[in-house]
Amino acid sequence: MLYWLGVAAFALAILISVSLHELGHMLTAKGFGMKVSRYFVGFGPTIFSVQRGETEYGLKAIPLGGFCKIVGMTPQDDDVAPEDQPRAMWRFPVWKRTVVMSAGSITHFMLAAVAAYFAAISLGLPNTDYPRTDTDTLAQKPVITIAECTWINLPATQQECVPGQNGAIAGPAYAAGLRDGDLITRVGDTPITTYGQLTEAIRALPAGPVPVEYQRAGATATANVDLVAAQRAPISDSEGAATTVSVAGVGWDQRSVPTMIEYGAGDAFGATADYGWFLFKNTFEAMKRIPDKIPALWNSITGSERDPETPISVVGASRLGGEAVENGVPELFLNIFISLNVFIGIFNLLPLLPLDGGHIAIAWYERVRSWLYARFRKPDPGRVDYYKLMPVTYAVILIGGAFTLLTVTADIINPITIFK
């Protein structure tokens, strides 16, 4: 029950954010004097509508977004009444049209910022400095986690590690008295300040006993660890060929760095900005990887395991929101909402028709072209003919529709799950 309530709540939150996106267009258009004839939430058959002044407001049957109709968005619009011609959007200065067309994305960014701020002071924000790569992990403080059992020869298949069976032995560090959370400061004669240095120092020593200095609860002590020779992959390349090195049965303790951080009311402003920049950078990186992920999406539909790094649709995001509510993790619900709003905001600014960014790009192209023609004392070439761009627009719609269908299908047949 909680799961479906979470799914419904997340879907409603996205519907509201998309409706506010269109509201941003409408308010800025009206503020500049443009005529907005219609503002609707949803698509398809009209459930109800009401006329207020020159604008019709209403609700439609399919709750998958919304729209507002700004009169005369392009010079080719043929439904502009003669009395509305002076207020047609295309006649307004380019900076005003830019504000109107970017207002939707700005609304998404504002929603994300407000949600992130309240998350920062209540539930906490993800730690943007948390290590996400092998290189990041190796640079962390050498706080360790202990393996009670370790492999001499890495098994070909995943199986339980039991000392004395299948080439497994008791963990040397555990046997020497080291425990989870200990901070290693020296191995033999080598001072240690990072986890990478710890791993390198151990692997560089011959098998046998070595004194390991550590700190626990503020006290310094030394344990004699009997290193053993074992097969291990290179430190920063888990896919590399295994070689025989000395091991102690230790790893980096992930709990030593918080994954979430809660802030005070003042500090939350800076944390929100930092988290927003983090999301912007990672959203662009994720968008660049989308073409490479399409085969994995298709394979997940045809029976392969779903790659958690593949894109998701609003359906998939809503399912994750349901999981977050079901498992009592409201911060995850909020962070998915924040991330999705940032993605939608950036995506809508891409310079492609029919996206908002496409209209902005054309407006500035016209402005720059007119300026250049004036510099060379040539007559203004006028406005771009949108009809000539229709093949490209249809191609974008077709590709976007196919990609949406692919992600929605994958999210229904083989969804990404966080809690298993």
> Does the pLDDT value for residue 265 go beyond 60?
yes
Please name the residue that has the structure tokens 């989870």. 180
* pLDDT score of 239: 60
Domains located in the chain, CATH noted: 2-35+71-126+279-413 (no CATH), 134-256 (2.30.42.10)
Catalytic residue among 22, 309, 323, 331: 22
Instruction: Report which of 290, 327, 305, 294 is spatially closest to residue 420, judged by C-alpha positions.
Output: 327
Instruction: Report which of 271, 321, 277, 280 is spatially closest to residue 10, judged by C-alpha positions.
Output: 321
* pLDDT score of 307: 85
> Does the pLDDT value for residue 156 go beyond 80?
no
Asked if 22 contacts 101 with a C-beta cutoff of 8 angstroms, the reply is no
Proportion of the chain above pLDDT 90, given as a percent: 63
* pLDDT score of 169: 82
* Distance between CA atoms of residues 102 and 108, nearest Å: 10
State the chain's mean pLDDT as an integer: 90
Is residue 67 left, alpha or beta, with left meaning phi > 0 and alpha meaning psi from -120 to 50?
Answer: beta
* Distance between CA atoms of residues 138 and 203, nearest Å: 14
- DSSP letter string, 158-218: -----TTSTTEEE-HHHHTT--TT-EEEEETTEE--SHHHHHHHHHHSPSEEEEEEEEETT
Please name the residue that has the structure tokens 């403080």. 141
CA distances from 396 to 332, 358, 389, 391, 404 (A): 32, 11, 11, 9, 12
Q: What is the mean pLDDT of residues 121-137?
A: 90
Asked if 229 contacts 126 with a C-beta cutoff of 8 angstroms, the reply is no
Is residue 328 left, alpha or beta, with left meaning phi > 0 and alpha meaning psi from -120 to 50?
Answer: left
Asked if 342 contacts 284 with a C-beta cutoff of 8 angstroms, the reply is no
- The pair of structure tokens assigned to 225 is 């660890």
> Does the pLDDT value for residue 263 go beyond 90?
yes
146 bridge partner residues: 250
> Does the pLDDT value for residue 120 go beyond 90?
yes
* Distance between CA atoms of residues 45 and 379, nearest Å: 47
- What confidence tier does 124 reach under pLDDT thresholds 50, 70, 90? very high
Asked if 34 contacts 89 with a C-beta cutoff of 8 angstroms, the reply is yes
CB atoms within 10 A of CB 142: 24
Instruction: Work out the end-to-end distance of the chain between its first and last CA atoms, rounded to an integer number of angstroms.
Output: 17
Residue 152 vs residue 118, higher pLDDT: 118
Alpha helices (H) in 227-313, listed in sequence order: 267-301
* Distance between CA atoms of residues 28 and 96, nearest Å: 9
* Distance between CA atoms of residues 273 and 166, nearest Å: 51
* pLDDT score of 62: 84
Write the DSSP symbol of residue 143: B
> Does the pLDDT value for residue 154 go beyond 90?
no
- The pair of structure tokens assigned to 9 is 């709540």
Q: What is the mean pLDDT of residues 63-85?
A: 88
> Does the pLDDT value for residue 134 go beyond 90?
no
Q: Which amino acid is at 325?
A: V
The answer to whether residue 305 is catalytic is no
> Does the pLDDT value for residue 238 go beyond 60?
no
Instruction: Report which of 387, 347, 385, 349 is spatially closest to residue 369, judged by C-alpha positions.
Output: 385
* pLDDT score of 76: 87
- Helix (H) / strand (E) element for 22: namely helix 2-32
Give per-residue pLDDT as tens, 320-359.
999 999 998 899 999 999 999 999 999 999 999 999 999 9
* pLDDT score of 230: 85
* pLDDT score of 367: 92
* pLDDT score of 305: 85
* Distance between CA atoms of residues 123 and 331, nearest Å: 6
Give per-residue pLDDT as tens, 192-216.
999 999 999 999 999 999 999 999 9
- What confidence tier does 237 reach under pLDDT thresholds 50, 70, 90? low
User: Which range among 25-34, 47-56, 234-243, 245-254 shows the weakest confidence by mean pLDDT?
Assistant: 234-243
Proportion of the chain above pLDDT 70, given as a percent: 98
Q: What is the pTM of this model?
A: 0.86
Q: What is the mean pLDDT of residues 294-319?
A: 88
Q: What is the mean pLDDT of residues 99-126?
A: 95
